[in-house]
Chain A
Amino acid sequence: MTTIDLANPDVEEDPDPSDAVAPLGEALIRIRRLDPDSVITYCGAAFSALALAWLIYERFAPFSGGLGFLVVAWTAFCIIVYSLCRQQWGKIAARDHLVRLLVASMAMLALIPLGSIVFTVVQRGYHGLQPSFLTHTMAGAASLSKFSQGGAWHSIVGSFEVVGIAMLISVPLGVMTAVFLNEIGGRLARPVRTLTDAMSAVPSVVAGLFIFAVLIQPQYLKATGFAGALAISILMVPTVTRTAEVVLRLVPGGLREASFALGGSEWNTTKQVVLPTARTGLVTAVVLGVARVVGETAPLIITMIGAQQFNGNPFRGLQDALPLFIWSDKVNSTGQGVVDTWMWSGACVLLAIVLVLFVAARVLGNRSGLGAVPRVRRQR
C-alpha cells in the first residue's frame, strides 16, 4: 500500500527525497513543487534576457546605467518566459506563469524600500551602538565627542514608559469599544463606528496640539511623559478598536449562541468565550496599536518636549523618548560626528523594539485560540 501524503509539508522539504520513507517502510510519493521543465524554461529565459539586454546596451543602443539595464532585462525575461510557456503548455498556462512572475516581481519590488531603510539605518548607526549607548544619557550633550560619553538610556526608558502608559489607557478603551460595537451594538453603534474611523484619520500633530491646548496650556498638566502618553493614546485607540472589531467579528456566532444556550450572561459570554477565542487577533490589535505610535514624534515634541538627562518619572518633569532623541540629534547635527551617528543608532533601537514586539506578538498569540489552527500550506 502506498500513502499519498499530500498534507505533510515535511515530505516536500526532505533534503534527500529518494530516501523519503515512512516509518512503516512505505515509499512516500514526493509532490514536486518545481518540475525540471519549468526550471529549464526559467533558467533559459533568464540567460537569454540578460544576453539580450547586454546586446542592446553594449552593441546597439547608446544606453548606460544599471537601473535601465535591469528594467530591460526584466521586461525581456517576462516576454521570453511567456512565449516559451505558450509554446510548451498553451495560452492559459502561459498567462498563469506570466501573472505569477509579475506578482512575484511586484512583491520583491515592494521589499526594496523596506530593505534599504533597514540597511541604511543599520549601516549608519551601528558605530554608535556601544554598551554606553544603552546605559548613558545625553547630559552635557554639547561637549560630547566620544561614543562612550553618552547614549540613549533616558530615551529608551522614556519610550517604554510613555508607550506603556498609552497602552494601559488605550487597550482597555479600544477593546471595550470593539466589544460594544460587535457584541452589544444597537442604535449607537453606527455613530461610534463612524467616529472611530474619523479619529483614525486625525493627524498626529493635531492630537499633540489638542492635548497641549486642553490640558497643558490651561496648566492642568505640565509637559510630561504622561501628557505625551495621553496624546499618543488618541492615535492608538482607533487603531486598536478597528483591528479588535474585525477580529471579534471573526468569532463564529454559533459560539455565542452555544454560550447563551448554556445560560451564560452577555458579559460572561464575552469574557469567557468571545475574547479568549479572539485572543490571537487581539494581541495583534495591541501590537498594531503600539507600532502605530511608538515612532510618533510630532505629538511628543508638543506635549513632552524632550530632555537630555535621565528622568524615570513620567508624571513629573520633562522626559525623552526615542523619536525625540532622533529628532534632537537631527537638530543638533553638524553633518557628521558623534551626534549624527547617534541619530541613526536611535533609529536602530527603535526598529529593533518594533521587531521584538512583532515577534513577541506572534509567539504569544500562536499558543491557542484561533491562531492554533495550523496554517494551510499552499499546494500547486
Chain B
Amino acid sequence: MTILEEVSLESDSANVASALTARSVSAWFGNHKVLERVSLEMRPNEVTALIGPSGCGKSTFLRTLNRMHELVPGASLAGEILLDDTDIYRDPVAVTEIRRRIGMVFQKPNPFPAMSVAENVVAGLKLCGHKVDRSSRDDLVQHCLSRAGLWNEVKNRLHDNGGALSGGQQQRLCIARSLAVRPDVLLMDEPCSALDPTSTRRIEETIDELREEVTIVIVTHNMQQAQRVSQRCAFFLAGENEPGHVVEAGRTEAMFTNPQDQRTLDYVRGRFG
C-alpha cells in the first residue's frame, strides 16, 4: 500500500536515498573466511564501485549488504551493516522488508520466465504481498520501464514473455523490476558482464540517472566502467589463502589517478588481476 502511494506521489516528493554503512564485516563459508573486517561507507546519491580481481570477496560483500549471503548453506558473518540508522541484521525489521529496501540486480539476467514483460515489472510488489490494481499497474509498468531505459523498446511487447527479449533488454527489465518496489539502495553484481557494448552503455546511462534517487553499489571487473559510472571506489584484494579485504577506498578520480597504495595503482593500471 505504502509503496503504491509512494509511486503515485513520486513526481511530488523526491525520494531521499539512504546511506549504507558497513562496519568491520567479516564473512565465512563454513570454516573458510572470505572477508576480513571490511568497513565501507556507501553514500546516498552516489555510485560506489567495488573493484578487484576475481575471488577477492566483492560479490560476497555485496550479498551481505541485503542479507542474501545467509541463503548459502553454511554461510556466516560478523560485523554490522547500517541502512541509515537501521542495523539490518540486529534490528527487528523483517528480512523481506530489508531486501525490498535494498534491491539487487544479478550478473546473469533472470527475468521470471512464466511471466510477461509487464508482469515481471510488477512481480516484486506481488511477491511482497501487495495487490496491484489495473490502472496503477499500467502507470507503474510504464514508469519503471522508462526509468530503466526500456519503455520505448518494449511498449508494444508488454504481454510477450520476458524471456523473449534480448540479453541487454532482459537485464534492463530486471532493473525495472527492482525499481518497482521502490528500493532505497540498488546493488548490482557485474550487471553488464554478459552484455554487448551498446547494452552496457544503455545500462550505464540508466545507472547515472538512477543515482538521483537511489544509492547504487556496483561490482565490476571493468576498470573503464568503474571510472565512468562511479563517484566512489573500493579496491578489494585477497592474498593467497587469506580472506579478502579493502585495500583502499575513496573518490574514484583519486583512486584512478593518484592512489595511496601501490597495489591499487598496479591494479587500476592493469598490471595484475
Q: What residues make up the interface of A, taking CB atoms closer than 8 Å to B?
A: 252, 254-255, 257-265, 268-269, 272-273, 276-277, 279, 368-370, 372
Q: Do B114 and A263 touch (CB < 8 A)? A: no
Q: A264 near B96 (CB under 8 angstroms)?
A: yes
- Distance of B118 from chain A, by nearest CB (Å): 14
B103 on interface, CB distance cutoff 8 Å: yes
The answer to whether B128 touches A258 (Cβ under 8 A) is: no
B161 within 8 A of A: yes
User: Is B123 in the interface zone, CB < 8 Å from A?
Assistant: yes
B124 and A257 contacting across the interface, CB-CB below 8 Å: no
B247 within 8 A of A: no
Among all A-B residue pairs, the 3 with the closest Cβ atoms: A263-B100, A264-B127, A262-B124
Residue on B nearest A269 in the bound complex, by CB: B127
- Interchain CA distance A370-B112 in the complex, whole Å: 10
Residues of B within 8 A of A258 (CB): 106, 110, 112, 174, 177
Q: Within 8 Å CB of B163, what residues of A?
A: 372
Asked whether A261 lies within 8 Å of B114 as measured between CB atoms, the reply is no
Cα-based distance from A61 to B85 in the complex (angstroms): 97
Interface contacts beyond A258-B106, A262-B123, A273-B123: sample of 7 additional A-B pairs, CB < 8 Å, sorted by A: A258-B110, A259-B123, A262-B127, A263-B101, A264-B127, A273-B114, A277-B114
Is B100 a contact of A276 with CB atoms below 8 Å?
Answer: no
Q: Is B108 part of the binding interface, using a Cβ–Cβ cutoff of 8 Å?
A: yes
Tell me the bound Cα distance from A254 to B127 in angstroms: 15
Contact bitstring B147-188, A, C-beta under 8 A = 1, else 0: 000000000000001010000000000100110010000000
B100 touches A368 (CB 8 A): no
Measured between beta carbons, the chain B residues less than 8 angstroms from A269 are 127
Q: Which residues of B contact A (CB under 8 A)?
A: 66, 68, 71, 96-101, 103-104, 106, 108, 110, 112-115, 123-124, 126-129, 161, 163, 174, 177-178, 181
A-B contact pairs, 25 of them (CB 8 A): A254-B108, A254-B110, A255-B110, A255-B113, A258-B112, A260-B68, A260-B71, A261-B66, A261-B103, A261-B106, A262-B178, A262-B181, A263-B96, A263-B101, A263-B124, A263-B181, A268-B127, A268-B128, A273-B112, A273-B114, A277-B113, A279-B114, A368-B161, A370-B113, A372-B161
Cα distance, A370 to B113, chains bound together (Å) = 7
The interface residues of chain A lying within 8 Å CB-to-CB of B124 are 262-264
- Prevailing SS type, chain A contact patch: helix
Minimum CB–CB distance for A368 against chain B, Å: 6
Q: State whether A254 and B106 are in contact (beta carbons under 8 Å apart), knowing that A263-B181, A369-B113 are contacts in the complex.
A: yes
Q: Are A260 and B99 in contact (CB under 8 A)?
A: yes
- Could you tell me the distance between the alpha carbons of A272 and B97 in the complex, rounded to whole angstroms? 18
Q: Smallest distance from the beta carbon of B219 to chain A beta carbons, Å?
A: 14
Instruction: Note all chain A residues with C-beta closer than 8 A to B181.
Output: 262-263
Give the CA-CA distance A276 to B110 in the complex, in Å: 15
Give the shortest distance, in Å, between B144 (CB) and chain A (any CB): 12
Q: Is the CB of A255 within 8 A of B112?
A: yes
User: Do the beta carbons of A262 and B110 come within 8 Å of each other?
Assistant: no
Partner of A273, one of B127, B128, B178: B127
Of the candidates B96, B108, B114, B181, the one having the most CB atoms from chain A within 10 angstroms of its own CB is B114
User: How many angstroms between the C-alpha atoms of A254 and B163 in the bound complex?
Assistant: 14
